[in-house]
């Protein structure tokens, strides 16, 4: 009798958490596990701002899948571009651009999310994201390049535009990105004696009325005070109306000469979800508390791609797209798959909030572990301790800790690698948002391949 085939799509916190638990708890030979991912690593997303600032190297937050797996999972190097739930086939575009079918008995959709954009003139052409390792590396090179070009320029207008930086989105990603990169440019001034410190200006804007409202009023105000004390101009209730290569127009009418626009204003579920043609909640796949898709046999979803009911809050609330939820859902997902294989009842996903941590660089941080409000150095110790402990492998923990120590002792470096210098750098170039098939294309593809074979 053939072994059941479990196909996991995505190697983020949710997907890897599910696979690792399956490897530990399944009896050898009980099922075949396949993981579909374009990269051979799990990205530790919360530390990307520190990669952009050069505090951490890209390799230190790219946790190897080969090193941590137990040699029971087949890894397909590619991205899922469609799913035919009737035929039980996932369509995969391999990194060679070859399109193949991966049949399954059970599929776990942990495809994650992409940067959410809006119909703002010039946004997708000129904004840069902070969702992938390539984007973080690009943003670092770009920011340092602006300092180099401003230092070399004899044109005062050009110099002013290169030294204005705008980050849209005052959530965790945007706030930490603005804070870490502002610290980098401030520390860089010793290397650029010709630059006027007053010309370097970071702007953090958000249409929301509060900075990181999840922190609560007190810690939110503490974070706001830290940012403004460091010279970051925070504008709430404001977004951008238009972006060009050399300026940004705010919705309040301000026009800033600016050549760096970083967009972190929320996330949207992977476009793969639309390829299913199933019910969604705010773009995320509607699933049961047990993480299964109603009406589809053997289909499960979790993490940023799924609207998982938040049983702790009730009233129709769904879990926010955070790493903390994704990791825990991955474990519940694995347990429910094993229960399905063994004919046992499934368990709903429930959680207890562990709190929040926000690393603002240096000794600046705000944290709320188990409801205890902290700021400054104690908050920084909690924030970095949490991130360090969440890294899956000892190699990754050693690299991150070594990087932190080196940065604390030797300070920042301002090397521009140039790896992405001539590469397209729009959001879709880094996040491949136009690579997916429609439900009709998926069905036509699977029907054609079944006929051929």
The pLDDT tens digits of the residues spanning 175-221 come to 999 999 999 999 998 899 889 899 999 999 999 999 998 888 899 99
Tell me the CA distances in angstroms from 152 to 149, 191, 309, 420, 440, one per residue in order: 5, 13, 54, 21, 54
> Would you state the pLDDT for residue 453?
42
Here the tokens at position 33 are 């596990």
Q: How far is CA 143 from the centre of its chain?
A: 20
Residue 443 has pLDDT above 90, yes or no: no
> Would you state the pLDDT for residue 419?
73
* Nearest-angstrom CA–CA distance, 248 and 242: 6
CA atoms within 13 A on the CB side of 119: 0
CB-CB neighbours of 68 under 10 Å: 18
What share of the chain in percent tops pLDDT 70? 98
Q: Is the dihedral of CA 361, 363, 366, 367 positive or negative?
A: positive
Q: Which residues, in sequence order, are CB contacts of 94 under 8 Å at separation 6+?
A: 76, 77, 78, 100
Residue 450 has pLDDT above 70, yes or no: no
Strands laid side by side in the 284-286 sheet = 280-281, 284-286, 306-307
* Nearest-angstrom CA–CA distance, 79 and 119: 26
For residues 358-375, give the mean pLDDT.
Answer: 92
* Nearest-angstrom CA–CA distance, 10 and 16: 8
> Would you state the pLDDT for residue 257?
96
Closest CA to 263 of 122, 141, 157: 122
* Nearest-angstrom CA–CA distance, 236 and 174: 13
Question: Higher-confidence residue: 421 or 51?
Answer: 51
Residue 452 has pLDDT above 50, yes or no: no
For residues 291-318, give the mean pLDDT.
Answer: 93
Whether 64 contacts 189, CB under 8 Å: no
Lowest mean pLDDT among 85-99, 299-313, 395-409, 412-426: 412-426
In the structure, what pLDDT confidence band is assigned to residue 314 with cuts at 50, 70 and 90? confident
Residue 451 has pLDDT above 70, yes or no: no
Please tell me what DSSP assigns to residue 276. G
Domains in the chain with CATH codes: 5-46+63-115+268-351+432-452 (3.50.50.60), 117-265 (3.50.50.100)
For residues 258-269, give the mean pLDDT.
Answer: 93
In the structure, what pLDDT confidence band is assigned to residue 42 with cuts at 50, 70 and 90? very high
> Would you state the pLDDT for residue 437?
84
Tens digits of per-residue pLDDT, 243-259?
A: 999 999 999 999 999 99
Lowest mean pLDDT among 69-83, 219-233, 396-410: 69-83
What share of the chain in percent tops pLDDT 90? 78
Report the mean per-residue pLDDT for the chain: 92
> Would you state the pLDDT for residue 355?
84
> Would you state the pLDDT for residue 70?
59
Q: How far is CA 403 from the centre of its chain?
A: 21
Closest CA to 399 of 41, 62, 46, 20: 62
Whether 71 contacts 20, CB under 8 Å: no
Tell me the CA distances in angstroms from 391 to 247, 398, 400, one per residue in order: 39, 10, 9
* Nearest-angstrom CA–CA distance, 129 and 127: 7
Here the tokens at position 122 are 């010039």
> Would you state the pLDDT for residue 442?
85
Question: Higher-confidence residue: 428 or 333?
Answer: 333
Residue 159 has pLDDT above 80, yes or no: yes
In the structure, what pLDDT confidence band is assigned to residue 157 with cuts at 50, 70 and 90? very high
Whether 70 contacts 24, CB under 8 Å: yes
Whether 401 contacts 388, CB under 8 Å: yes
Whether 180 contacts 226, CB under 8 Å: no
């Amino acid at each position: 009798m053939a072994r059941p085939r479990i196909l996991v799509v995505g190697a983020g916190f949710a997907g890897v958490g599910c696979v690792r638990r399956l490897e530990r708890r399944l009896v050898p030979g009980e099922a075949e596990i396949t993981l579909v991912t374009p990269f051979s690593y799990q990205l530790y997303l919360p530390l990307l701002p520190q990669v952009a600032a050069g505090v951490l190297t890209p390799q230190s937050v790219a946790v190897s899948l080969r090193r941590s797996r137990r040699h029971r999972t087949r890894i397909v190097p590619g991205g899922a571009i469609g799913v035919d739930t009737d035929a039980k086939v996932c369509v995969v575009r391999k990194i060679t651009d070859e399109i193949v079918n991966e049949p399954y008995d059970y599929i776990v959709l942990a495809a994650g999310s992409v940067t959410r954009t809006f119909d703002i003139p010039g946004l997708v052409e000129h904004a840069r994201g902070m969702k992938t390792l390539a984007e973080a590396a690009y943003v670092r090179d770009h920011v340092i390049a602006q300092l180099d070009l401003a230092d070399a320029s004899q044109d005062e207008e050009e110099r002013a535009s290169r030294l204005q930086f705008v980050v849209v989105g005052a959530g965790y990603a945007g706030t930490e990105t603005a804070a870490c990169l502002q610290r980098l440019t401030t520390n860089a001034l010793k290397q650029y004696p010709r630059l006027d410190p007053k010309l370097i200006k970071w702007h953090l804007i958000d249409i929301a009325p509060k900075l990181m409202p999840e922190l609560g009023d007190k810690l939110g105000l503490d974070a706001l005070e830290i940012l403004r004390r460091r010279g970051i101009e925070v504008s709430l209730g404001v977004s951008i109306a238009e972006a060009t290569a050399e300026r940004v127009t705010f919705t309040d009418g301000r026009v800033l000469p600016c050549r760096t626009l970083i967009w972190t204003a929320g996330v949207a579920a992977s476009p793969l979800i639309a390829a299913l043609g199933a019910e969604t909640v705010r773009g995320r796949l509607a699933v049961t508390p047990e993480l299964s898709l109603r009406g589809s046999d053997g289909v499960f979803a979790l993490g940023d791609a799924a609207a998982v009911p938040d049983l702790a809050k009730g009233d129709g609330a769904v879990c926010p797209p955070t790493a903390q939820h994704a990791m825990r859902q991955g474990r519940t997902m694995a347990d429910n798959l094993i229960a399905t294989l063994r004919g046992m009842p499934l368990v709903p996903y429930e959680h207890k909030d562990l709190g929040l941590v926000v690393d603002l660089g240096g000794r600046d941080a705000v944290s709320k572990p188990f409801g205890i409000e902290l700021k400054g150095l104690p908050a920084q110790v909690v924030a970095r301790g949490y991130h360090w402990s969440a890294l899956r492998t000892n190699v990754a923990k050693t690299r991150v800790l070594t990087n932190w120590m080196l940065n604390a002792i030797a300070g920042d470096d301002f090397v521009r690698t140039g790896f992405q210098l001539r590469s397209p750098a729009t959001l879709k170039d880094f996040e491949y948002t136009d690579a997916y098939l429609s439900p009709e294309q998926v069905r036509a593809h699977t029907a054609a391949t079944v006929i051929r074979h």
